């Protein structure tokens, strides 16, 4: 005697690995009968639950894999504090299209202006879209690669950096790299470029100073920049450190006070003019 389909369903779901659908099968059947669902509504309900749970697990794994130093979100970013940032551009990046287009995003500017915050926030969004993201400070990344090279496992370590859909390299230029370290950073940039895999990078150094970043090797610096900038969006942030602003708001003294614009009267003129940083 053949087994009726009703009885086959649980075993089939189990065999197919649709564990969430299996867990919800009885409840879905009862609800479908009580609310007179169509067959397609019933099937859609079960499969949607399965997919939602799979996505949740993927995102959870993506977050573990990403090694974000902390969680930062775009909603927490106060755009009014950093008027040189084009909000619409950041919103466009938040759609994730730059990842599919293989476009690099480079945040430049002095410390404390939100470069790392924005890089992490974009990484978080991409991880939530279901893609692998990997975050590393530049110096940690090259030191891990150097160690891997010494242990004869450079290829595997390099794969960890070239495979993820998005690589975030933070703080390029904060510490000067030695020649071997600079060459490893170059290899990462070059390999991702060849695979059209995007990088989000932050640096406090203007491109003109990048030869210092690459162990005073202008040829390596320009070859790295060439690849990074080929398909890229550069976001140059100018402004005051957010931390310092917050401190000033809280009333503590500023260790690096900004020169204040001063007003003075110009001789032979009845007009008062604004003179910024006049000695
Ligand atoms: P950078 O990488 O440019 O040195 P960070 O992104 O590390 O700066 O910012 C320093 C701190 O200030 C972080 O805690 C960050 O979340 C916060 N921060 C910076 N800019 C903003 C901003 N515009 N709105 C909210 N928080 C900010
Ligand atoms: Mg930073």
pLDDT of residue 60: 97
In this structure, are 112 and 178 located in the same domain?
yes
- Give the range of the structural domain holding residue 99, as residue numbers without chain letter: 67-242
CA of 110 to the centre of ligand 1 (A): 11
Q: Are residues 150 and 133 in the same domain?
A: yes
Residues 130 and 144 in one domain: yes
Cβ of 116 below 6 Å from ligand 1: yes
Question: Same domain, yes or no, for 210 and 130?
Answer: yes
Q: 160, 132 in Cβ contact below 8 A?
A: no
- Do 76 and 214 reside in the same domain of the chain? yes
Q: Does the beta carbon of 107 lie inside 6 Å of ligand 1? A: no
- 74 and 209 inside one domain: yes
Burial category of 263 from C-beta neighbours within 10 Å (exposed 0-12, middle 13-18, buried 19 and up):
exposed
pLDDT class of 90 with cuts at 50, 70, 90: very high
What is the predicted pLDDT for the residue at 270? 33
Total residues found in the chain within this entry = 279
In a domain, 73, yes or no: yes
Mean model confidence pLDDT for the chain: 89
Residue 262 dihedral angles phi and psi, to the nearest 5°: -120, 150
What is the 3-class SS of 75-107, one letter each residue?
Answer: HHCCHHHCCCCCHHHHHHHCCCHHHHCCCEEEE
CATH number (domain holding residue 185): 3.40.50.300
Instruction: For residues 114 and 140, state if they share a domain.
Output: yes
Tell me the mean pLDDT in the region 11-40.
Answer: 96
C-alpha to C-alpha distance for 23 and 132, rounded to whole angstroms:
28
Q: How far is the CA of 57 from the centre of ligand 1 (A)?
A: 29
Q: Nearest Cα to 218, choosing from 247, 186, 265?
A: 186
Do residue 59 and residue 193 come from a single domain? Answer: no
Within the chain, where are the H helices? 5-15, 19-34, 39-66, 87-93, 97-100, 115-128, 138-150, 154-162, 179-194, 210-213, 218-230, 242-250
Residues 138 and 219 in one domain: yes
- State which of 65, 86, 101 marks the end of a domain: 65
Residue 175 lies in a domain: yes
Asked if residue 76 is part of any domain, the answer here is yes
Q: Kindly tell me if the per-residue pLDDT of 279 is higher than 80.
A: no
Prediction pTM value: 0.84
- Residue that is last in its domain, among 25, 42, 65: 65
Confidence of residue 36 (pLDDT cuts 50, 70, 90): very high
Same domain flag for 114 and 172: yes
State the sign of the Cα–Cα–Cα–Cα dihedral 127, 157, 215, 229.
negative
Q: Is 204 in the pocket of ligand 1 (CB under 6 A)?
A: no
Paired tokens of 92:
């466009």
In a domain, 264, yes or no: no
Based on the structure, what is the number of domains in the chain?
2
**pLDDT, tens digit, for every residue of 196-231?**
999 999 999 999 999 988 988 999 999 999 999 999
CA distance 14 to 86: 50
Is residue 184 included in any domain, yes or no?
yes
Contacts of 38 (CB under 8 A, 6+ apart): none
pLDDT, tens digit, for every residue of 119-143?
999 999 999 999 999 999 999 999 9
Find the ligand nearest to 83 CA.
1
Q: Quick one: 136 and 223 in the same domain? A: yes
For a substitution probing ligand 1, which of 69, 72, 86, 117 has the most ligand atoms within 8 Å of its CB?
117
Which pLDDT belongs to residue 250?
72
Q: What is the pLDDT of residue 251?
A: 67
Q: Residues 41, 88: one domain?
A: no
Distance of alpha carbon 227 from the chain centroid: 19
């Amino acid at each position: 005697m053949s087994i009726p389909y009703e009885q086959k369903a649980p075993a089939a779901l189990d065999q197919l690995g649709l564990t969430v659908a299996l867990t919800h099968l009885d409840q879905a059947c009862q609800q479908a009968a009580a609310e007179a669902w169509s067959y397609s509504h019933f099937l859609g309900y079960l499969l949607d639950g399965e997919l939602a749970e799979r996505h949740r697990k993927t995102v959870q794994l993506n977050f573990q894999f990403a090694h974000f130093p902390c969680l930062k979100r775009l909603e927490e970013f106060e755009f009014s504090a950093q008027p040189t940032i084009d909000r619409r551009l950041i919103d466009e990046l938040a759609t994730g299209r730059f990842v599919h287009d293989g476009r690099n995003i480079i945040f430049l500017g002095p410390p404390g202006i939100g470069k790392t915050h924005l890089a992490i926030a974009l990484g978080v969004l991409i991880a939530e879209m279901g893609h692998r993201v990997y975050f590393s400070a530049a110096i940690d990344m090259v030191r891990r690669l150097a160690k891997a090279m010494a242990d004869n496992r450079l290829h595997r370590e390099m794969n960890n950096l070239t495979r993820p859909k998005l690589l975030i390299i933070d703080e390029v230029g904060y510490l000067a790299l030695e020649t071997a370290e600079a060459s490893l950073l170059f290899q990462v940039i070059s390999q991702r470029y060849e695979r059209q895999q995007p990088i989000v990078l932050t640096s406090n150094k203007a491109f003109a100073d990048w030869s210092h970043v690459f162990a005073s090797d202008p040829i390596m610096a320009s070859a790295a920049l060439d690849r990074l900038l080929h398909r890229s969006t550069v976001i140059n942030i100018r402004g005051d450190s957010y931390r310092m602003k917050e401190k000033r708001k809280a009333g503590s003294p500023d260790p690096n006070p900004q020169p204040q614009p001063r007003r003075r009267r110009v001789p032979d003129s009845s007009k008062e003019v604004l003179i910024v940083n006049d000695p």
